[in-house]
């Protein structure tokens, strides 16, 4: 089925962009900058962890202040 193979190859060549998007396939460009994107994600994760820690500390301080206010109010 040489004719069918060449037809399918031509079809895939014409539709490759649509297939890549539809099937969410990785392209060579995606693979080439993978490490850079991973480093950016890791850095963002560190920033979020730092923000989470500072938010927890602030929340504990506010909860402590609330308890003190409740005691004073009694």
What's the CA gap between 56 and 8, in Å, rounded? 58
Predicted pLDDT of residue 2? 63
State residue 49 phi and psi, 5-degree precision: -60, -40
Look at the pTM and tell me if it is higher than 0.75: no
Do 53 and 39 belong to one domain?
A: yes
What's the CA gap between 52 and 62, in Å, rounded? 15
Question: Residue 14: helix, strand or coil by DSSP?
Answer: helix
25: which 2 tokens? 């396939």
Predicted pLDDT of residue 1? 56
Do 44 and 72 belong to one domain?
A: yes
Do 39 and 72 belong to one domain?
A: yes
> What's the structural domain count of the chain?
2
Containing structural domain, residue 12: 1-27
Chain-centroid distance of CA 11 in Å reads 33
């Amino acid at each position: 089925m040489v004719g069918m193979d060449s037809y399918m190859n031509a079809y895939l060549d014409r539709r490759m962009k649509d297939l890549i998007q539809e099937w969410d396939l990785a392209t060579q460009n995606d693979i080439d900058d993978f490490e850079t994107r991973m480093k950016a994600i890791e850095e963002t994760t560190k920033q979020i962890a730092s923000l989470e820690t500072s938010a927890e500390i602030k929340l504990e301080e506010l909860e402590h202040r609330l308890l003190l206010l409740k005691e004073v109010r009694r």
